[in-house]
Amino acid sequence: MSDPFRLDGLVAVVTGAAGKLGPIWVEALLDAGAAVFAVELDGAEISSAFESLRGVHDETRLVLHRADVLDRDALIVARDTCGRTLGGVHVLVNNAGIDQPASVGGLVSHRLEDVPLDVCRTILEVNTLGTFQVTQVFGAEMVKARRGSIINIGSLYASVSPDARLYDHMALEPPFLKPPAYGASKAAVVNLTRYFSTVWGPYGVRVNTLSPGGVLGDQDPEFQRKFNDRVPLGRMAVDADLRGPLRFLASDASSYVTGTELRVDGGFTAW
């Protein structure tokens, strides 16, 4: 009996592939047997995790291509390049997005009533409109082929508001606020997921959201302690926690799953 979680012979596209979460998705897809067309913004820094994957896989398995998710012409070039180098796309992971994690140095904080509209606009454009446009460009090819899985990367903050108390130990004035547009953009992504799933379902294209909780990184110890206290499983996610859910949604193991949001948050949104 074949393994329904395998992706042998399939081609996957991952946007925002070389950043923080991108390499997690890329590695999961490669390990399952897929070839990966990795899309990253021109000029964006390539993470060491992604470079490690490039050191293991040649360009028959992993291709890096530079494109902006807000540039439709560049996305069409990316789609055509993927077709020439690896083949038609079977799996699309919409991962490109903007966040403002508390661990990043040099944060600029605002009082809620003073948050500049341009900050909100940039987050909404990249996270929501970028996801929409990439889905249009690559998903249309899936519709023509009458098959495929689209996975939009959401967030626990699509469902709940950030708890400002997680950040109140930070020496910032005004106190740090996670950008209000971030959760709004991810909630919009969840709704776009439902929309595309209903329109493209008759063509064999499945569309789902994978919403991670907090992922362990270089957050300060006090933030980690407070966050862990808020999670029923008592810890932040690590890379291995995310690979399995991604493979599930990408593969035939989820062949009757569409229009859903899979929350991988250790129970954070359960209370």
Residue of 75, 61, 70 whose CA lies nearest to 26: 61
Question: Are 29 and 91 contacting, i.e. CB atoms less than 8 angstroms apart?
Answer: yes
Q: Determine the residue type at 44.
A: A
Question: Are 143 and 203 contacting, i.e. CB atoms less than 8 angstroms apart?
Answer: yes
Q: Which of 157, 167, 182, 256 is catalytic?
A: 182
Q: Which residues contact 157 (CB under 8 A, 6 or more apart)?
A: 178, 182, 183, 186
* Residue 182 known to be catalytic: yes
State how far the Cα of 54 lies from the Cα of 49, in Å rounded to an integer: 9
211 in helix, strand or coil?
A: strand
Strand pairing of 35-40 and 62-66?
Answer: parallel
Question: Are 258 and 197 contacting, i.e. CB atoms less than 8 angstroms apart?
Answer: yes
State how far the Cα of 20 lies from the Cα of 172, in Å rounded to an integer: 25
Question: Are 34 and 88 contacting, i.e. CB atoms less than 8 angstroms apart?
Answer: no
State how far the Cα of 53 lies from the Cα of 59, in Å rounded to an integer: 11
Catalytic residue IDs = 182
